Structure 1
Amino acid sequence: MKKIVLLVGACYGLLSVVLGAFGAHALKKILSAQALQSFETGVKYQMYHALVLLLIGFYFSFSSKIESYMAWAFILGTFLFSVSIYFLALGTTRDWTLGWLGPITPLGGLFLIIAWVLLIVNIYNGMK
């Protein structure tokens, strides 16, 4: 599990840099200011959580279920949140019917909230 968390964290970090550059240069010309801001929000959250994944990957052993649940919640939440925002922002330039992605973003956010709560629980349990 540790290797998966570190690998996903590194990949999320790499992709957030690539997508951030893509947004700042290529998408700046084709997206509205609001869509570009949404895209940038997805990039920021992806980078923040890439760093969190790297930190928890180095800190935790993932020997308990709660540590593994926390990691999967961060991985899944980041993917659902950021990727849905990317597609919704890019969909504004085309006639894509992506309304079904609307509920995916808050679902990703919910997974991230759960992940942060589990992180707090893990830290608290480690303090005992």
Structure 2
Amino acid sequence: MHIHDKIQGIGLSLLGGLTVIIGAFGAHGIKPVVSQEAFERFETGLLFQVMHLLALLMVWSSGLVSHKARAWIFRWFIAGVLLFSGSLYILVFKEVNDTIPSFIGVLTPLGGVCFILGWGSMALGISRNKGI
């Protein structure tokens, strides 16, 4: 196993654990104190985080793309999770804490662009794979 494989595998494991923690915190800590609209925003962030974690696990374990392509997919998807899901999580707290700046919402579509670039990188990586 290449060192990058190991690092990515450990990173995915940690992201998976963090995703469970965030989901539990949302269900038990956030839901009782925010509006339904804010909680739906939180759930959207969590859904996209889970979806892209699963996609990363598939890319990591499948061998469909080269190491170089996989590295780019990882970069784009992790940036997407941080910007898209992260900004939605932060915006949920704006409802209970007015000091959170509104410009955080600008990060959400940037995260969406990162997700799109990650999916494009995956398609390109698969198309360049001579073995399939």
Considering the TM-score relative to the shorter chain, is it more than 0.5? yes
With the length of structure 2 as denominator, give the TM-score of the two structures: 0.85
The runs of 4+ residues in structure 1 deviating greater than 4 Å are none
Please show how residues 37-116 of structure 1 align to structure 2 within 5 Å. Answer: 37-60=40-63, 62-64=66-68, 66-116=69-119
SS of 1:94's partner is: coil
Whole-Å separation in 2 of the counterparts to 1:7 and 1:43: 20
With the length of structure 1 as denominator, give the TM-score of the two structures: 0.88
RMSD: 1.8
Question: Alignment identity in percent?
Answer: 33
1:19 aligned onto 2:22? yes
The count of residues paired between Structure 1 and Structure 2 equals 127
Give ranges in structure 1 of 5+ residues lacking alignment.
none
Whole-Å separation in 1 of the counterparts to 2:53 and 2:14: 8
User: Which position in structure 1 is the counterpart of 2:127?
Assistant: 124
Q: CA deviation at 1:18?
A: 1.3
Give ranges in structure 2 of 5+ residues lacking alignment.
none
